[in-house]
Amino acid sequence: MKESDLTPAQAWHFMSKAARDPDILAKGLHIQGGEKSIALLCHAAEAMSIRVLGASCNGKEIKLNRRIKKMRKAEWYSYQVQQLRLLPDISETKQSATLEDYGIAALAELNGLTGLAEVKGQVGDMAAFLKVMKSRQKQGLKVTTMGQHLVFTGNPGTGKTTVARLVGQIYRDLGSLRSGHFIEVGGRDLIAEYVGQTAPKVDAVVEKALDGILFIDEAYALAAEDSRCDFGPEAVATLIRHMENYRERLVVIIAGYDYEMERLLHSNPGMKSRFKTKIAFPDYAPIELVAIFSHICNDQGYVLAPEAQRTVVRLCTDLHRTKNKNFGNGRTVRNIFDKAVMKQARRLSVTNRKPSKSALQTLHAVDIPGVQEIEW
């Protein structure tokens, strides 16, 4: 990369890659201290989350005036941005699935989620397919069917439940489901303890979900290798029967860890053929975790002091670097916020009997919990 400014398209491409690969971000950017630079970083993460559906960012652009510097992976959070502004327009990278094409509120909401670029792309493709098939049907043309049942894979807190709800609304708005309502159960909720009770449990859940979405979280429990799951195969067989009988009235989305979900799909020949579409939800990159924290603060009426912003960036980076299978992604960020608010309340109760409005709204570095305080 040269000293000169990147073109909007190049900057967009770079930032999109950086959101998925911390090493790229480490080498390419340098965040200077202070409130403005961290806020811009958060806005950049938000901008990357709306790339797929083609929304625009008004009147700003990204500039990277510094030569890329090599930095150790463990220290990449200390980088500084000399100039970072949002793109004036992303028409150069516009995808086929746009809000203008559909006029669907659920797509706008999906578009507003942090990160999840690949997920948005796949859901956008599904919406495009359904839209075109409806148009073909109106013109008396042959309609190609698409398996609407989905597999969501990924770690906790990556947005699977949120996106599943939005899929129901999208299907409803496109006329594929009558109501698009959302019924959520766990895999173990479908399994009874005694003979003859499992099938009726599945029947009851499916009946509630007709004309909407049946979301089965931790669905791999249906194929778990423990004594309670002796009736797991019965639950799977009953579910498949309902999926066949209610092709036009039921969409099932199963979710869980990738490896365990593969085991479930191979537990019954009918599963693999009915769940043809898999959508992978990656862990959030550090820049996206910071953006999520910023969203929560804004929603709850809090602001971050400059030193607190830098502390949040370091914390999210450290958590991402040391994460394990139990890392909660967005849930972990919410946990950070809850602990920060609690620490702020404790601090104000001791130091200020009548705190000002500004004091009540502001989180300082001392309020941000350390890595050891975070429960994944």
Q: Do 154 and 276 belong to one domain?
A: yes
Q: Do 188 and 268 belong to one domain?
A: yes
What was the pLDDT predicted at 193?
85
Q: Do 237 and 334 belong to one domain?
A: no
Q: The CATH number of the domain where 198 resides is what?
A: 3.40.50.300
Give pLDDT tens digits for 59-109: 333 333 332 233 322 232 233 222 222 222 323 333 444 444 554 788 889
Find out whether 211 and 249 touch, Cβ atoms under 8 Å: yes
Tell me the average pLDDT across 324-336.
91
Q: Which two tokens stand for residue 312?
A: 């949040």
**Confidence class for position 376, pLDDT limits 50, 70, 90:** low
Domain boundary among 249, 266, 281: 281
Tell me the average pLDDT across 50-54.
30
How many whole angstroms separate alpha carbon 111 and alpha carbon 284?
Answer: 16
pTM of structure: 0.72
Average pLDDT of the residues of the chain: 77
Measured CA to CA in angstroms, residue 8 lies from 29, 60, 342 at distances of: 16, 10, 41
Give pLDDT tens digits for 287-302: 999 999 999 999 999 9
- Residue 29 placed within a domain: no
Q: The CATH number of the domain where 321 resides is what?
A: 1.10.8.60
Q: Do 299 and 252 belong to one domain?
A: no
Which residues lie across from 182 on neighbouring strands? 213
Domain boundary among 246, 281, 316: 281
- Residue 337 placed within a domain: yes
Give pLDDT tens digits for 155-180: 999 999 999 999 999 999 988 999 99
Tell me the average pLDDT across 51-59.
32
Q: Do 292 and 310 belong to one domain?
A: yes
Residue 31 reports pLDDT greater than 80: no
Lowest mean pLDDT among 35-44, 137-146, 197-206: 35-44
What is the percent of the chain where pLDDT is above 90?
57
Burial classification of residue 234, based on how many CB atoms lie within 10 Å of its CB (0-12 exposed, 13-18 middle, 19 or more buried): buried
- Residue 66 placed within a domain: no
Q: Do 211 and 178 belong to one domain?
A: yes
Under DSSP, the state recorded for 87 is -
Domain count, the chain: 2
What was the pLDDT predicted at 302?
97
Give pLDDT tens digits for 228-287: 557 999 999 999 999 999 999 999 999 999 999 999 999 999 999 999 999 999 999 999
Find out whether 277 and 150 touch, Cβ atoms under 8 Å: yes
- Residue 127 placed within a domain: no
Residue 57 reports pLDDT greater than 70: no
What was the pLDDT predicted at 95?
44
Residue 319 reports pLDDT greater than 90: yes
Q: Which domain holds residue 305?
A: 284-376
Measured CA to CA in angstroms, residue 192 lies from 14, 65, 79, 104, 147 at distances of: 51, 62, 54, 39, 29
How many whole angstroms separate alpha carbon 187 and alpha carbon 4?
Answer: 54
Helix (H, G, I), strand (E, B) or coil at 61: coil
Nearest CA to 40 out of 28, 52, 49, 32 is that of 32
What was the pLDDT predicted at 271?
95
Q: Do 151 and 276 belong to one domain?
A: yes
Domain boundary among 281, 313, 337: 281
Q: Do 301 and 271 belong to one domain?
A: no
**Terminal CA-CA length for the chain:** 38
